């Protein structure tokens, strides 16, 4: 697939496989600007942006990442914008999908691109010894639910330094650390992510950046929903993670409790914890009581 007209300069620049981080961001910024200005009447323009985005990911990103992004771009239903009877809504949805993908690619480049060869070698060396970590990705607006999860997880025996939960003083980002740099380093480790999803979560750009970073690194994860969250939320349906994956809804009923038992068993396995069954039962009962209390407030 060749590169369409619209930006010969971009076409020339993305022919180089070894680009500096700043060069990649510059190209992505241009693609973002062009994708943002696309209209449903400009078939040639969006075809050009789509093709140049594909060319960028194939030539400027690592093989695994390039393959993943190319697959996502190919899944965009472009035909809905070229058929005689297409709807304006469908066409705008296609344009928005491309725009979100390019923004996510830029986020990946900003978080993970490495120019310095020595830094890259040091990074690869650091991966040889992976320590398991749990990361609770959440909105600060849902702190009451997050606090209940934190108490449950720590009660099982997970150490404070093995849990990243930014709403708690023992698990927050260390003073002086840059939040995205800290998350980048830790998400690169053997991380099990708990996504605490709500309308608040999908209204937060910071939360969506966390989700995108975890998706890029293919971290193992569990989805937990707040009781009021609508699974038909369009932002959820179009997000990076697998929306068909079964999650836990914090409704404090038997289904919730059974699912939390599965989560408990998974955490015990990941961290090789030795937990007395009676202690685990006590922790789970306390968690369920807290969720009931929060839901009734």
Q: What is the pLDDT confidence band of residue 283, given thresholds at 50, 70 and 90?
A: very high
Taking 90 as the threshold, does the pLDDT of residue 105 lie above it? no
Output the DSSP codes for the chain. -PPPTT-HHHHHHTT-SS--HHHHHHHHHHHHHHHHT--TT-HHHHHHHHHHHHHHHHHHS-HHHHHHHHHHHHTS-GGGGTSTT--HHHHHHHHHHHHHHHHHHHHHHHHH----HHHHHHHHHHTTS--EEEEEE--GGGHHHHHHHHHHHHHTT--GGGEE-TTSTTTSPPTT--HHHHHHHHHTSEEEEEEEE-HHHHT-HHHHHHHHHHHHTT-EEEEEE-TT--TT-HHHHTSSS-TTS--EE---SHHHHHHHHHHHHHHHHHHT----HHHHHHHHHHHHHHHHHHHH-
Taking 80 as the threshold, does the pLDDT of residue 262 lie above it? yes
**DSSP annotation of 188:** T
CA 167/CA 138 separation, integer angstroms: 9
Higher pLDDT, 103 or 121: 103
Residue with tokens 């009581």: 289
Nearest to 171 by CA among 196, 144, 136, 218: 136
pLDDT at 218: 72
Q: What is the pLDDT of residues 152-210, one digit of tens each?
A: 999 999 988 888 888 887 776 666 665 556 666 665 567 888 999 999 999 998 888 77
pLDDT at 150: 94
User: Which residues, listed in sequence order, are joined to residue 193 by a DSSP beta bridge?
Assistant: 135, 221
CA 180/CA 91 separation, integer angstroms: 33
Q: What is the pLDDT of residues 198-231, one digit of tens each?
A: 999 999 988 887 787 777 667 789 999 999 999 9
| pTM for the structure as a whole | 0.57
pLDDT at 60: 82
Q: What is the pLDDT confidence band of residue 5, given thresholds at 50, 70 and 90?
A: very low
CA 192/CA 30 separation, integer angstroms: 35
pLDDT at 156: 93
Q: What is the pLDDT of residues 8-62, one digit of tens each?
A: 444 444 443 457 888 888 899 998 888 888 776 566 777 888 888 888 888 888 7
pLDDT at 94: 78
Q: What is the pLDDT confidence band of residue 1, given thresholds at 50, 70 and 90?
A: very low
Residues 120-142: what's their mean pLDDT?
A: 70
Active site residues: 210
Q: Is the dihedral of CA 53, 74, 199, 257 positive or negative?
A: negative
Residues 259-263: what's their mean pLDDT?
A: 95
């Amino acid at each position: 697939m060749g590169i369409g007209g619209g930006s010969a300069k971009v076409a020339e620049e993305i022919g180089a496989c070894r680009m500096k981080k700043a060069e990649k961001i510059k190209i992505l910024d241009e693609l973002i600007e062009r994708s943002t200005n696309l209209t449903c009447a400009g078939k040639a323009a969006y075809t050009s942006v789509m093709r140049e985005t594909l060319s960028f990911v194939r030539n400027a990103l690592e093989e695994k990442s390039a393959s993943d992004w190319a697959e996502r771009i190919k899944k965009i239903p472009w035909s809905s914008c070229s058929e005689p009877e297409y709807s304006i809504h469908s066409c705008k949805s296609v344009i928005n999908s491309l725009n979100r993908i390019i923004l996510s690619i830029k986020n990946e480049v900003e978080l993970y691109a490495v120019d310095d060869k020595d830094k890259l070698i040091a990074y690869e060396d650091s991966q040889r010894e992976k320590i398991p970590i749990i990361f609770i990705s959440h909105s600060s607006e849902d702190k009451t639910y997050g606090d209940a999860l934190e108490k449950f997880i720590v009660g099982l025996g997970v150490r404070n330094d093995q849990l990243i939960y930014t709403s708690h003083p023992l698990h927050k980002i260390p003073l002086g650390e840059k939040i995205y740099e800290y998350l980048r380093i830790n998400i690169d480790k053997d991380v099990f992510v708990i996504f605490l999803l709500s309308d608040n979560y999908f209204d937060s750009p910071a939360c969506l950046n966390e989700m995108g970073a975890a998706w890029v690194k293919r971290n193992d994860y569990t989805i937990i929903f707040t009781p009021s969250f609508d699974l038909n939320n369009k932002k959820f349906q179009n997000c990076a993670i697998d929306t068909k994956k079964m999650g836990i809804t914090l409704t404090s009923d038997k289904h919730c409790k059974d699912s939390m038992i599965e989560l408990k068993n998974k955490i015990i396995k990941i961290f090789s914890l030795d937990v007395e069954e009676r202690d685990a039962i006590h922790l789970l009962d306390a968690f369920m009581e807290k969720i009931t209390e929060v839901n009734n407030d």
